[in-house]
């Protein structure tokens, strides 16, 4: 099943700086909840892991991602990712489009859209819950992306760090995104508890 | 109501005696498959596919096997070693037991873990690592029929498309002719979505192979234990399981509704595991597995057309159907009827010309196509005809009740030969509809509706006047895998005049232990409380094809009556001997033979039974037993008229059933209370698809409502107050004049409810709506017309 989300962010930084962060997978991966970069194949291709837990279902996806579009002149990028659950319980495909534009009052507007297509156990949870979880994850990503950018701006050291390749042989388990409370919020929503 | 022949104490036909089996059910003392516990028993849990269509690249069982308490992980490769990785379906198609290379639907069995307990088995399932290569699934049958669609059943040599079969009946040319010349032609697309029986007990078994005796005993949730035994012998004969060494025991069953007719891979894997390991193996599905993987029902896409004169006389019916069977045709129809009894689709109407055709397709969805509380696709047929009648009424601006009266087969036209070849046994359709209309106050409701409409309120009245076809069936036409669809009864009268009777059928909640005893009580005069009924053990019961399609009363019930008549014949000889008169001088009245003209000279059935063991006449065998295999001369045709009144909330579009009256005619009634209970349950199972239930799949074949949190089974909260009554038109060919009742309400309720909702919206230009009709759909259709925000 496919779920879509769209989000516009206003960021303090100028587009050029944001662009550089966005096309750096080691920077981006930090902003994605539950995600981890395992290997950078070249400028456009990399491998990673993402771990999601919804109720009783934990899915750990091993995936590949590719920047299928990188147009620096327009600050427009498309990233396509696909992953399979490590123990064979499902798979996911994701496409993310981002476009940056300079704001007259300063800073940058980021227009982003994402479509996520999932199969297997997570999909069996039904559209409602997945939409809620996806929205929440997208929100979390936006928040942490903004925070990381702000950190980046205030600390010159981080630039150096982000160029380091992760150690493939000794990767700590990523902390899974805690979707159970989100799912519960979605269920409670059904019963009109507002 | 028919006059009662027996006293309350004897409790024959027509007595509302309390169900004998309820004594154990209400005390929690039923004995279901999951209650069976054997020494050394192991437990099985199943690894299932997350994909609707994928190649299996590898299965790694190491981590699962390393868990303490895991005994074995069974894969397709393991079964292949015994040539048990494929099995036939009841429709002579083929089905994987476990896959070796490809999975064909989400939740398909991929491997099984056998462990010391259920929890360890579940941990083992989590630890099995399967590497898949997902492929693009074909979920929609209309896409499956496209020329460039991927061919799903590559296991079938030479298969070049996804088409399973074509079936047609009737006169295509003549039908076309009538349509060409007709004053009026109407068309309606009717889709009955995939639904699930959701019986309260899921499927499961305990397979116990005794290596010393070479005997396999399987307790399993099956509606047809004898047929299962024969199929097991045919499938597993090559590994040494011959039929005398297989015992199938169907213990208490918590609802079947057709879902417990097919042979699921889980049963076969458990049997194979027990044979290989040499210990008993228990497998019981959880609720989601049951919903996601077990046989679905319906999934027919029908295009229905009716030709009529401008005066409203129905002249011809034509239906073209696309049937989605999922990955394999694992329906449970009689072999010669791939579309079941769908050709009952001319319904209760005298339509002289008809043609129907159907094409079945494979898709990446679970297999099935079972008859969910409906005698082989009758629900689909009835929905088609009852919708198109309403569409015609609307087109001609006629009252739907009046149009039905005009076209009903009349009581004096029975036996009636339908355009599609059935011989309806008996019926009085106008009487049933008239009674329903009188009881509900039809004319007043129509007046009320007019007033409500003028005030902008939404109220609708829906009618369904259905004809069922049950009791399969006459052996010349009806078989499953070649086994004729008779059924059987064996009666033994004990010396003290008590009895035991065994049957080839199997109750799943229908109350056979009571109704069969009442039939024998009626025919023999032995109190029903003195007659023990046994079913479901193939080592003891006579052979029969089981309980589904409302066939138990029409077949096994008739067999009971016939066996009782054989007992009576022998009893007469014994009575003549005891009374020292000739047989011709005796006459039977309930429970005794007496001398004609001298009623004080008589012998009761109890005295006769005692003599059969203590003082039997010379030249006559001792004992008092009889067996009868009943091969029905025809099917039976129960019918009824239902009227539903709905109110729709103009703001939330919630559909409220204000009243629902069900008039059923199932011929002579054995136990009115049990019949009423059956009708209440069946109406609720008819309400379910009308307003709530549908198995929803996305484009990739993911089931989107694979648990009861999302799949809406109605509870007492959603269920309206059912009002029931009956007419009695006996079957002329059944020994008891009975017809079978369990499925009529499931068949009749959905179109009555759909017709009522559409009627509530018809003045706004709404002509059609697919079930389940949810408040969301009502909102959508009104929004499309600019009538809702």
- Provide the CATH number for the domain around residue A176: 3.30.530.20
pLDDT band (50, 70, 90) for residue B181: very high
CA distance B378 to chain A (A): 31
Q: Which of 175-214 (B) contact A at CB < 8 A? A: none
Nearest-5° angle of CA B433, CA B435, CA B439?
Answer: 120
Cα distance between residue B400 and residue B657, in whole Å: 19
- Residues of chain B within CATH 3.30.365.10 domain(s) are 21-30+473-630, 428-468+638-788
Q: What average pLDDT does the segment B368-383 reach?
A: 92
pLDDT digits (tens, 9 = 90+) for B33-44: 999 999 999 999
pLDDT digits (tens, 9 = 90+) for A109-132: 999 998 888 888 777 765 567 788
> Where does residue B336 rank: exposed (0-12), middle (13-18), buried (19+ CB within 10 A)?
exposed
Kindly determine whether residue B702 and residue A117, on different chains, have CB atoms separated by under 8 Å.
Answer: no
Question: Which of B50, B129, B131 is nearest residue A119 as measured by Cβ atoms?
Answer: B50
Nearest to B560 by CA among B606, B610, B526: B526
Residue B498 CA to its chain's centroid (Å): 33
Mutate to test the interface with B, among A56, A126, A183, A184 (most CBs of B within 10 A): A126
Q: What is the CA radius of gyration of chain B?
A: 28
Residues of B labelled as active-site residues: 223, 373-374, 743
**What is the pLDDT, as a whole number, of residue A123?**
79
| A1 CB within 8 Å of a chain B CB | yes
> Where does residue B674 rank: exposed (0-12), middle (13-18), buried (19+ CB within 10 A)?
buried
Question: Which of A88, A117, A126 is nearest residue B704 as measured by Cβ atoms?
Answer: A126
| B53 CB within 8 Å of a chain A CB | no
Q: Which of 129-168 (B) contact A at CB < 8 A? A: 129-132, 134
Q: Which residues of A touch B130 (CB under 8 A)?
A: 87-88
**What is the pLDDT, as a whole number, of residue A168?**
42
Nearest to B703 by CA among A46, A36, A122, A129: A122
With 80 as the cut, is the pLDDT of residue A86 above it?
no
Kindly determine whether residue A1 and residue B702, on different chains, have CB atoms separated by under 8 Å.
Answer: yes
Q: Which residues of B touch A88 (CB under 8 A)?
A: 50, 128-132
Q: What average pLDDT does the segment B577-606 reach?
A: 97
With 50 as the cut, is the pLDDT of residue B479 above it?
yes
Mutate to test the interface with A, among B46, B47, B49, B50 (most CBs of A within 10 A): B50
Do residues A27 and A148 touch, judged by C-beta distance below 8 A? yes
**Least confident among A48-52, A85-89, A153-157, B762-766:** A153-157
**Bridge partners, A124 (sequence order):** none
Q: Which of 71-100 (A) contact B at CB < 8 A? A: 84-91
Nearest to B388 by CA among B171, B191, B189: B189
pLDDT digits (tens, 9 = 90+) for B131-152: 999 999 999 999 999 999 999 9
CA distance A90 to chain B (A): 5
CA distance A85 to chain B (A): 9
User: B21-30+473-630 belongs to which CATH class?
Assistant: alpha beta
- Helix, strand, coil percent values for chain B (each to nearest 5): 30, 25, 45
pLDDT band (50, 70, 90) for residue A189: very low
Mutate to test the interface with A, among B63, B702, B709, B710 (most CBs of A within 10 A): B702
Kindly determine whether residue A126 and residue B705, on different chains, have CB atoms separated by under 8 Å.
Answer: yes
Kindly determine whether residue B51 and residue A90, on different chains, have CB atoms separated by under 8 Å.
Answer: yes
pLDDT digits (tens, 9 = 90+) for B638-690: 999 999 999 999 999 999 999 999 999 999 999 999 999 999 999 999 999 99
Size of interface A-B (CB pairs under 8 A): 64
**Least confident among A32-36, B703-707, B742-746:** A32-36
Q: What is B29-93 written as a DSSP string?
A: ---BGGG---TT-EEEEEEE-SSSSEEEEEEE-HHHHTSTTEEEEEEHHHHHTTT-SEEE-TTS-
pLDDT digits (tens, 9 = 90+) for B290-323: 999 999 999 999 999 999 999 999 999 999 999 9
pLDDT band (50, 70, 90) for residue A191: very low
Cα distance between residue B247 and residue B256, in whole Å: 20
CATH of B428-468+638-788, one of 3.50.50.60, 3.30.365.10, 3.10.20.30, 3.40.50.10800: 3.30.365.10
pLDDT digits (tens, 9 = 90+) for B490-516: 999 999 999 999 999 999 999 999 999
Looking at the 3D structure of chain A, how many domains does it have?
1
Question: Which of A91, A121, A127 is nearest residue B134 as measured by Cβ atoms?
Answer: A91
Kindly determine whether residue A126 and residue B292, on different chains, have CB atoms separated by under 8 Å.
Answer: no
């Amino acid at each position: 099943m496919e779920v879509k989300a769209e989000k516009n962010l206003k960021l303090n930084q100028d587009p050029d700086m944001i662009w550089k962060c966005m096309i750096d997978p080691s920077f981006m991966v930090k902003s994605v909840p539950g995600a981890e970069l395992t290997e950078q194949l070249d400028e456009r291709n990399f491998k990673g892991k993402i771990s999601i837990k919804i109720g009783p279902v934990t899915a750990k996806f091993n995936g590949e991602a590719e920047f299928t579009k990188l147009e620096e002149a327009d600050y427009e990028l498309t990233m396509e990712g696909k992953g399979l659950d490590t123990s064979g319980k499902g798979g996911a495909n994701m496409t993310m489009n981002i476009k940056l534009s300079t704001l007259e009052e300063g800073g940058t507007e980021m227009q982003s859209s994402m479509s996520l297509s999932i199969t297997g156990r997570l999909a069996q949870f039904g559209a409602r819950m997945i939409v809620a979880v996806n929205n929440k994850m997208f929100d979390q990503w936006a928040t942490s992306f903004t925070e990381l950018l702000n950190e980046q701006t205030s600390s010159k050291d981080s630039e150096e760090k982000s160029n380091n390749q992760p150690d493939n042989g000794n990767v700590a388990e990523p902390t899974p995104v805690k979707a159970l409370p989100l799912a519960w919020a979605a269920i409670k929503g059904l019963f009109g508890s507002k | 109501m028919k006059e009662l022949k027996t006293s309350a104490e004897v409790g024959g036909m027509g007595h509302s005696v309390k169900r004998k089996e309820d004594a154990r059910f209400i005390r929690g003392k039923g004995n279901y498959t999951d209650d069976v516990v054997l020494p050394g028993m192991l437990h099985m849990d199943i690894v299932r596919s997350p994909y609707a269509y994928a190649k299996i690249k590898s299965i790694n069982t190491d981590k699962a096997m390393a868990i303490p308490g895991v005994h074995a992980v069974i894969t397709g490769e393991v079964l292949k070693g015994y040539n048990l990785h494929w099995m036939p379906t009841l429709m002579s198609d083929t089905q994987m037991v476990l896959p070796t290379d490809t999975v064909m639907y989400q939740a398909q069995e991929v491997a099984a873990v056998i462990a010391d307990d259920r929890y360890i088995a579940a941990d083992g399932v989590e630890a099995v690592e399967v590497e898949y290569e997902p492929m693009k699934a074909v979920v929609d049958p209309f896409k499956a029929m496209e020329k460039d669609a991927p061919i799903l059943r590559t296991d079938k040599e030479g298969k070049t498309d996804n088409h399973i079969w074509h079936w047609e009946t009737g006169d295509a040319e003549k039908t076309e002719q009538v349509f060409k010349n007709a004053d009026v032609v109407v068309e309606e697309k009717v889709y009955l979505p995939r639904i699930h029986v959701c019986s309260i007990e899921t499927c499961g078994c305990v397979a116990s192979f005794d290596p010393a005796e070479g005997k396999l005993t399987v307790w399993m949730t099956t509606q047809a234990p004898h047929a299962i035994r024969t199929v097991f012998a045919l499938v597993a004969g090559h590994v040494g399981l011959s039929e005398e060494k297989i015992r199938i025991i169907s213990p208490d069953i918590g609802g079947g509704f057709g879902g417990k007719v097919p042979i699921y891979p889980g049963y076969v894997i458990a049997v194979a595991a027990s044979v290989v390991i040499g210990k008993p193996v228990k497998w019981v599905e959880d609720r989601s597995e049951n919903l996601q993987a077990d046989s679905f029902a319906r999934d027919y896409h029908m295009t229905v057309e009716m030709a009529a004169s401008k005066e409203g006389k129905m002249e011809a019916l034509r239906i073209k159907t696309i049937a989605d069977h999922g990955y394999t045709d694992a329906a449970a129809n009689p072999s010669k009827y791939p579309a079941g009894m769908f050709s009952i689709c001319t319904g209760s109407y005298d339509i002289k010309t008809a043609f129907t055709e159907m094409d079945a397709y494979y898709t990446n969805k679970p297999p099935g196509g079972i008859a969910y509380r409906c005698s082989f696709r009758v629900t689909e047929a009835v929905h088609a005809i009852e919708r198109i009648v309403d569409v015609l009424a609307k087109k001609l601006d006629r009252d739907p009740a009046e149009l039905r009266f005009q076209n009903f087969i009349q009581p004096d036209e029975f036996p009636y030969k339908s355009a599609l070849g059935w011989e309806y046994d008996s019926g009085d359709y106008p009487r049933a509809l008239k009674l329903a209309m009188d009881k509900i106050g039809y004319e007043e409701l129509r007046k009320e509706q007019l007033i409500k409409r003028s005030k902008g309120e939404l109220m609708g009245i829906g009618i369904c006047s259905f004809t069922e076809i049950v009791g399969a069936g006459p052996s010349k036409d009806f078989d499953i895998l070649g086994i004729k669809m008779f059924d059987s009864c064996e009666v033994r009268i004990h010396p003290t005049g008590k009895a035991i009777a065994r049957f080839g059928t199997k109750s799943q909640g229908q109350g056979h232990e009571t109704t069969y005893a009442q039939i024998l009580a009626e025919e023999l005069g032995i109190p029903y409380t003195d007659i023990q009924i046994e079913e479901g053990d193939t080592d003891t019961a006579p052979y029969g094809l089981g309980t589904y399609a409302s066939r138990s009363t029409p077949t096994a019930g008739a067999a009971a009556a016939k066996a009782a008549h054989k007992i009576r014949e022998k009893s007469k000889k014994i009575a003549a001997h005891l009374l020292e008169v000739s047989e011709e001088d005796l006459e039977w009245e309930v429970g005794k033979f007496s001398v004609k003209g001298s009623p004080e000279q008589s012998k009761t059935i109890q005295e006769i039974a005692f003599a059969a063991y203590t003082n039997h006449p010379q030249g006559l065998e001792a004992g008092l037993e009889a067996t009868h295999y009943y091969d029905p001369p025809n099917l039976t045709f129960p019918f009824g008229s239902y009227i539903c009144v709905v109110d729709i909330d103009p703001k939330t579009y919630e559909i409220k059933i204000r009243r629902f009256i069900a008039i059923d005619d199932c011929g002579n009634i054995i136990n009115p209370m049990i019949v009423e209970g059956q009708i209440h349950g069946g109406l609720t199972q008819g309400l379910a698809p009308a307003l709530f239930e549908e198995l929803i799949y996305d484009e990739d074949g993911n089931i989107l409502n694979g648990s009861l949190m999302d799949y809406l089974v109605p509870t007492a909260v959603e269920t309206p107050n059912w009002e029931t009554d009956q007419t009695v038109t006996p079957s002329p060919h059944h020994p008891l004049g009975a017809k079978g009742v369990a499925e009529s309400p499931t068949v009749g309720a959905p179109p009555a409810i759909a017709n009522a909702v559409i009627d509530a919206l018809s003045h706004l230009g709404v002509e059609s709506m697919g079930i389940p009709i949810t408040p969301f759909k009502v909102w959508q259709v009104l929004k499309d017309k600019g009538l809702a925000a």
